[in-house]
Amino acid sequence: MALDKNGIAQRIAQELRDGWYVNLGIGIPTLVANYIPEGIEVEFQSENGILGMGPFPFEGEEDADLINAGKQTITAMEGAVYFDSATSFAMIRGKHVQLTVLGAMEVSEKGDIANWKIPGKMVKGMGGAMDLVASADNIIVAMMHANKKGKSKLLKECTLPLTGVGCVKKIVTNLAVLDVLPEGGFKLCERAPGVMVEEIQAVTEGRLVVEGDVPEMQFGLESVS
């Protein structure tokens, strides 16, 4: 069965490592914070100026001066720190953040990503996405495998204006975990539970590389909600 958004987040959370600083984008990536594996410590960076971002505040305890990059009210963990936007992007461009998780409209088999603009529609802007994808060594894209019309989001070439070139290395979708190969192509690493290779192939427009038996994602004891 294909994963829902929480399932995608839960699978990505397995990529977290102890001691990492992590930037989570808006949407599915935000949910990753709910599934930090036991026994490891990570700190979340939000590019508007906080390291050590905590969960949403309890009702009535919200502070207008404390928000995340999605402009949502948040809390700060013990040991958190605030800083200005230039320092924040120094952390990002300077590769002090170990993992960036963000959403995408399209990813190409060369690792290009498009996630900020649909020509002819309202253009909202790239926010911090271009800085994040241009700098991070470790970028995971969290997205649905196909768009709402059923059209593949894993393409030979992106059709939308690019956010970054050759920067995506790993993609986790509702159907699969895929690595972008250095020579181009999506290597199928894992399938969502019960999803067949053929189903994934059918909604992957770019070159899909399948080697041997592709294992199913493992979710340990906890169930995929």
Partner 1 sequence: MNKVVANAAEACKGIQDGMTLMVGGFGLCGIPESSIAELVKLGVKDITCISNNAGVDDFGLGLLLQGKQIKKMISSYVGENDEFERQMLSGELQVELIPQGTLAERCRATGAGIPAFYTPAGFGTEVAEGKETREFSGKMHVLEKAFDPDFAIVKAWKGDTNGNLIFKATARNFNPMMAMAGKITIAEVEELVPAGHLDPNAIHTAGIFVQRIFQGEGYEKRIEQLTVRTKN
Q: In the window 3-62, what residues touch partner 1 (CB under 8 A)?
A: 46-50, 55-62
Any contact of residue 98 with partner 1 (CB under 8 A)? no
Q: How far is the CB of 191 from partner 1 (least distance, A)?
A: 32
Locus of tokens 């690493």? 189
Q: How far is the CB of 128 from partner 1 (least distance, A)?
A: 4
Pairing between strand 50-54 and 43-46? antiparallel
Residue 210 Cα distances to 3, 79, 144, 149, 183, angstroms? 20, 45, 20, 25, 15
**Contacting residue, 71, 150, 183, 218, with partner 1 by CB under 8 A:** 71
Size of the site for partner 1 (CB under 8 A): 54
Q: How far is the CB of 139 from partner 1 (least distance, A)?
A: 13
Query: Alpha-carbon distance 196 to 208, whole Å?
Result: 14
Q: Smaller CB distance to partner 1: residue 50 or 144?
A: 50
Any contact of residue 84 with partner 1 (CB under 8 A)? yes
Q: 169: which 2 tokens? A: 């290395």
Buried (b) or exposed (e) across 177-191, using 16+ Cβ within 10 A?
Answer: bbbbeeeebbbbbbb
Q: Smaller CB distance to partner 1: residue 88 or 173?
A: 88
Sign of torsion over alpha carbons 93, 156, 174, 210: negative
Q: Give the helix/strand (H/E) hosting 173.
A: none
Q: Smaller CB distance to partner 1: residue 103 or 128?
A: 128
Active-site choice (43, 47, 109, 205):
47
Contact residues for partner 1 (CB under 8 A)? Answer: 46-50, 55-74, 76, 82-86, 88-89, 92-93, 112, 122-131, 134-135, 161-166
User: Looking at the annotation, which residues are catalytic?
Assistant: 47
